[in-house]
Amino acid sequence: MTTRRRFLSSLLATAATVPAFRNGAVAHALRTARGTEGRSPGAVAQDEDFWLEIQRAFDIDRGMINLNNGGVAPSPRVVNDAFRRYLDVSNQAPSITMWAWLEPEIEAVRRRLAVAFGCDPEEMAITRNASEALEIVQLGIPLERGDEVLTTTQDYPRMITTWKQRERRDGIVLKQLPFPVPPSSMGDLASRFERAITPKTKVIHVCHITNLTGQIFPIRDICRMARARGIEAIVDGAHAFAHFPFTRDDLDCDYYGTSLHKWLTAPIGTGFLYVRREKIEKIWPMMAAPPDMNANIRKFEEIGTHPAANHNAIAEALNFYEAIGPERKAARLRFLRDRWAKRLEKVPGVKVLTAYDPAMSCGLASFTPAALDVAKVGAYLYDKHKIIVTPIVHPEFNCIRVTPNVYTTLGDIDRFADTMEDVLKKGLPAA
């Protein structure tokens, strides 16, 4: 009889000469990081020799400049290798190799994510994205007709749509608060929520960092303010985790949902939901679970048949991220942002909508391209220069969002800035 160990050993031995099975990227990143000991993250952020080694860990088409890593980001080679390896094992006899062998390894991934986020593993559910994580809480939290939910006009459209469905279905009331971009201070953001609270307010739904301009919110202040008033606070961390360093205790939140295929560069279709232990039992899962799972965080993972490869490969993404170092990564992303933003803001008519204060932003930033049509600018940049950005049309402003990642080179940033400066000064060419 072929045992699991013998089968896996033979599979890996057969593939030992295939580059896809070599796992040297993380070790290489660790060796590279050790060379920075004693240097500040800000100094390392400008060390192109260091970042060249990180860039080499990605297999991407350098004929394109991808500045939309905020939507979904490519994974480094080591993550893709692990993902393919798990798929190969799954495909042998899925009812055994996937369900019985690989699926239980989700517990090791759960423990790793819990350590990284700073919570108990029994408070960590692994989901397919931030939308699923947040909708579990949005649709599962008990609310009655007339109860109010506070959020902003710049929260993620899918989450706003979810609350509006509950308005139609359950008669709750959604209130959306505007705020300037950039705001005057973190205190101003917190006070806007505080002033909007009424006796009917039951939930505050807030982005840790917005997807439009990269505005970071004072989450700890908002969560504590809500808790003191008996209000539930749900934090949308889709763009925050592995973008800049923090832990659960820095936020003091009860609910937190994020995607891992953005800034962690995990496989597409991965995310997590954190629910504080004492809150788990009262949240209904989006897909049914038996009563004996009422207080079990795993009830939120009852989604039917799904691939194990996606969530198992999260571990390699965590290894890669931790090898770089959270502080170094955040400093690099801010360095790249400043390089293009401080050039373009000098062009008449351009406004950078993202604060430079590191407490208020990181690598995601947006700007208004003077009077130019943002959709046409985005199309021109890609069609003529193969530069990918994110045009945003919002009722309060139109802008171009720029989100580099650790594989982005200074040449990529400079080419984008050169091209954008030219467009801003000369206008878009006639069609």
305 & 376 share domain: no
| Number of structural domains the chain divides into | 2
| pLDDT of res. 38 | 83
Domain region containing 342: 327-425
**Of 318, 336, 352, the domain-final residue:** 318
Residue 336 sits in the same domain as residue 224: no
Q: Does one domain contain both 267 and 331?
A: no
Res. 307 pLDDT band, cuts 50 70 90:
very high
Q: 147-170: per-residue pLDDT in tens?
A: 999 999 999 999 999 999 999 999
- Give the residue among 64, 395, 118 at the shortest CA–CA distance from 247: 118
Listed residues 265, 290, 318: the one ending a domain: 318
Taking 50 as the threshold, does the pLDDT of residue 19 lie above it? no
Give the model's confidence band at 360: pLDDT under 50 very low, under 70 low, under 90 confident, else very high: very high
Residue 340 resides in a domain: yes
Range with the poorest average pLDDT among 37-46, 188-197, 334-343: 37-46
- Please check the confidence at residue 3 and state whether its pLDDT lies above 70: no
Same domain, 123 and 244: yes
What does the pLDDT read at residue 16?
34
The answer to whether 404 touches 413, Cβ cutoff 8 Å, is yes
From CA 151, how far away is CA 54, in angstroms rounded? 38
Greater confidence (14 vs 104) lies with 104
Do both 314 and 333 map to the same domain?
no
181 plus 292 within the same structural domain: yes
CATH number at residue 369: 3.90.1150.170
Same domain, 268 and 342: no
- Asked if the peptide bond before residue 182 counts as cis, ω within 30 degrees of 0, the response is yes
Model confidence, pTM? 0.92
Listed residues 290, 318, 346: the one ending a domain: 318
Within a domain: 70: no
Asked if residue 407 belongs to a domain, the reply is yes
Question: Using N-to-C axis directions, what is the helix angle for 314-324 and 77-90, rounded to 10°?
Answer: 160
Q: Do 314 and 364 sit in the same domain of this protein?
A: no
Structural domain contains residue 7: no
Say which residues have a Cβ less than 8 Å from residue 233's Cβ, sequence separation at least 6.
203, 204, 205, 206, 222, 223, 226, 227, 253, 254, 255
Same domain flag for 333 and 290: no
> CA 177 → CA 113, 193, 206, distances in Å?
32, 8, 11
pLDDT for 145 equals 98
Degrees to nearest 5, angle at CA 275 with 204 and 313? 120
Residue 201 has pLDDT above 80, yes or no: yes
Residue pair 243/364 in contact by the 8 Å Cβ criterion: yes
Is the separation of the CB atoms in 207 and 225 below 8 Å? no
294 in the same domain as 180: yes
In a domain, 395, yes or no: yes
Band (pLDDT 50/70/90 cuts) for residue 32 is: low
- Residue 283 burial (CB < 10 Å; 0-12/13-18/19+)? buried
In the predicted model, what is the mean pLDDT of residues 44-58?
97
**Is the per-residue pLDDT at 21 higher than 60?**
no
Sign of CA dihedral 79, 84, 90, 92: negative
The pLDDT tens digits of the residues spanning 246-268 come to: 999 999 999 999 999 999 999 99
User: Which tops the pLDDT comparison, 304 or 38?
Assistant: 304
Residue-wise pLDDT for 90-122, tens only, equals 999 999 999 999 999 999 999 999 999 999 999
Q: What is the CATH number of the domain that holds 151?
A: 3.40.640.10
Tokens of 241: 């985790």
Structural domain contains residue 74: no
241 exposed, middle or buried (CB, 10 Å; 0-12, 13-18, 19+)?
buried
CA atoms within 13 A on the CB side of 36: 25
Percent of the chain with pLDDT over 90: 91
Task: Please check whether residue 68 lies inside any domain of the structure.
Answer: no
Query: Is the confidence at residue 12, as pLDDT, over 80?
Result: no
What is the spatial order of strands in the sheet that 255-259 belongs to?
124-127, 271-275, 255-259, 232-236, 201-207, 148-152, 173-177
The confidence score (pLDDT) of residue 430 equals: 84
Contact 326, 118 (CB under 8 A): no
> For residue 25, is it within any domain?
no
Q: What is the pLDDT of residues 366-396, one digit of tens each?
A: 999 999 999 999 999 999 999 999 999 999 9
Bridge partners of 320? none
Q: Collect contacts of 43-49 with beta carbons under 8 A, ≥24 apart.
A: 44/328, 44/331, 44/332, 45/328, 45/331, 45/332, 45/334, 45/335, 46/335, 48/410
CA 238, 242, 244, 249 dihedral sign is: positive
Q: What is the pLDDT of residue 36?
A: 73
**160 lies in the same domain as 196:** yes
Q: How many angstroms separate the Cα of 331 from the Cα of each of 43, 327, 416, 417?
A: 9, 6, 20, 20
* Residues 300, 418 within the same domain: no
